[in-house]
Amino acid sequence: MKKFLLFILLACICQITFSQNPKDTEAPDQAIFVYGGNMNLKFTRYVAELTQKEDPKICFVPTASADNESNIKLWQSYCEKLNIEPHVLKVWVASDEANLSFEEQLLAMDAIVVGGGNTLNMLAIWKAQGIDRIMKQALKKGIILAGGSAGSICWFQSGISDSRPVNLSVVEGLAFLPYSHCPHYAKEEKKTLYHQMIKDKKMACGYACDDRAGILFKNGKAVEFISQSDLHNSYMVKMENDRVQARKIESKYLLKPNALAKNEFTSVSVNKKLKDLLDMTDKADPLYAFVSEMKKVRLNKEGISEAERNKVLNLKVKNTFLYGDKLLGVLNDFYDDFDGMWYFYKHNGRWKSIGEDIGGNTLFESEITFRERAKMCIESGVKKFNQTLTTKN
């Protein structure tokens, strides 16, 4: 009888073991997304997508900026646009001001985004409050950890920071990632110190990010590199042949969800000055509309000085972007700090101006601008000319 009961017990154990879904016993991925600069809408969207939830609960942690209210409002504005359930972990509170503990707040999230500011002060507060321990629990639980600047340094062994007075210095992080880190890498003084610290073996090899570039780590390994522009990149920095080498890593570019696909528009190089286009007579040529608009709003402007006139005449038309037979974008170098993009909407067979906007600092950035704004510009054009029609009637 005892042998029979033992056999039944073993059979039940085997049944439970083999019927269990392997995925149920696997530990969740430990994901950390870091970026070189401050929080922005695209990176916030990326974090939300990492959660794979429709309305994720994401907590912003602004400790490094002393719970700055402007940063909190900016975070909340992003959440409104992205269907994120917003939460904020404030550390500058008294016990009678909070309903939940730090642990209860953070471990209920789908993701945690740490803001920029003073890394050294933030980590000191976290350790005093036990938040560093809670962050480790959150990571093991599968909650996405993210952040830029101070919010990226904190996850590494160490990083280059301006947290101390006078000089840049090395700050020790939580070592969730077994590397060193340098955000704001385009700043020469940070890059120089980072390379020197690695050369002197005062920091481990690691990863650097420009302001609008980021890296996704899963289980301690870099698995995806993200950028918002061809000017912003991520780098692997390490010693090779007795020299510090920074290897730029190819990135995936983030675009807004409604951006045009590559095959939905055409890009044509022009590279001509406006003064060389003034004699255009072909009204079917999309550039004719731009030249006509420049004559009307800039060259024929009342009281224009000779210097202003020469600047307009010498502006270079760099490129045109055409979305079917609906929208035209004309890229030009009229401004000193960036290229401008003038938009035209086709109405009753004629290209009509719907206004000017910023293009970008490179042709690639400007192309992204056009792809992201195209559908919105068409909506503006339809609305504008429908209103004109209504007014005339």
The pTM for the full model equals: 0.87
Res 26: pLDDT:
80
Res 385: pLDDT:
74
Res 387: pLDDT:
67
The least confident of 121-125, 209-213, 279-283 is 279-283
Answer whether 112's CB lies under 8 Å from 61's CB: yes
The pLDDT tens digits of the residues spanning 195-225 come to 999 999 999 999 999 999 999 999 999 999 9
Residues annotated as catalytic (active site), given as ranges: 149, 184
CATH code given to domain 27-253: 3.40.50.880
Domain residue spans of the chain: 27-253, 262-392
Pairing of strands 156-161, 177-182: parallel
Output phi, psi for 135, to 5 deg.
-60, -40
Q: Which of 262, 323, 318 is nearest to 290 (CA)?
A: 318
Res 93: pLDDT:
87
> For residue 344, is pLDDT > 50?
yes
- What is d(CA 204, CA 206) in angstroms, rounded to the nearest whole number? 6
Indicate the burial class of 73 (C-beta count within 10 angstroms; 0-12, 13-18, 19 or more). Answer: exposed
Alpha helices in the chain (DSSP H): 2-19, 22-25, 41-51, 69-82, 102-106, 119-129, 131-141, 150-153, 188-199, 286-294, 306-313, 363-392
- What is d(CA 79, CA 43) in angstroms, rounded to the nearest whole number? 12
> For residue 17, is pLDDT > 50?
no
Answer whether 87's CB lies under 8 Å from 109's CB: yes
CA distances, 179 to each of 111, 184, 196, 362 (Å): 22, 17, 16, 32
The whole-number average pLDDT for the span 337-361 is: 93
pLDDT bin (cut points 50, 70, 90) of residue 117 is: very high
Res 383: pLDDT:
83
> For residue 390, is pLDDT > 60?
no
Res 25: pLDDT:
60
Signed CA dihedral, 142, 88, 156, 136: sign only:
negative
> For residue 389, is pLDDT > 70?
no
Pairing of strands 266-273, 316-323: antiparallel
Average pLDDT score over the chain: 91
Res 9: pLDDT:
44
Q: Which of 159 and 22 is assigned the larger pLDDT? A: 159
CA distances, 112 to each of 27, 204, 233, 238, 289 (Å): 19, 26, 23, 29, 49
Res 392: pLDDT:
47
Answer whether 38's CB lies under 8 Å from 148's CB: yes
Structure-block tokens of residue 291: 């030249």
The pLDDT tens digits of the residues spanning 47-71 come to 999 999 999 999 999 999 999 999 9
DSSP 97: G
Alpha helices in 250-320 (DSSP H): 286-294, 306-313
- What is d(CA 237, CA 243) in angstroms, rounded to the nearest whole number? 10
Answer whether 254's CB lies under 8 Å from 292's CB: no
- What is d(CA 219, CA 135) in angstroms, rounded to the nearest whole number? 15
Res 280: pLDDT:
93
Res 5: pLDDT:
44
The least confident of 17-31, 81-95, 241-255 is 17-31
Structure-block tokens of residue 26: 């696997």
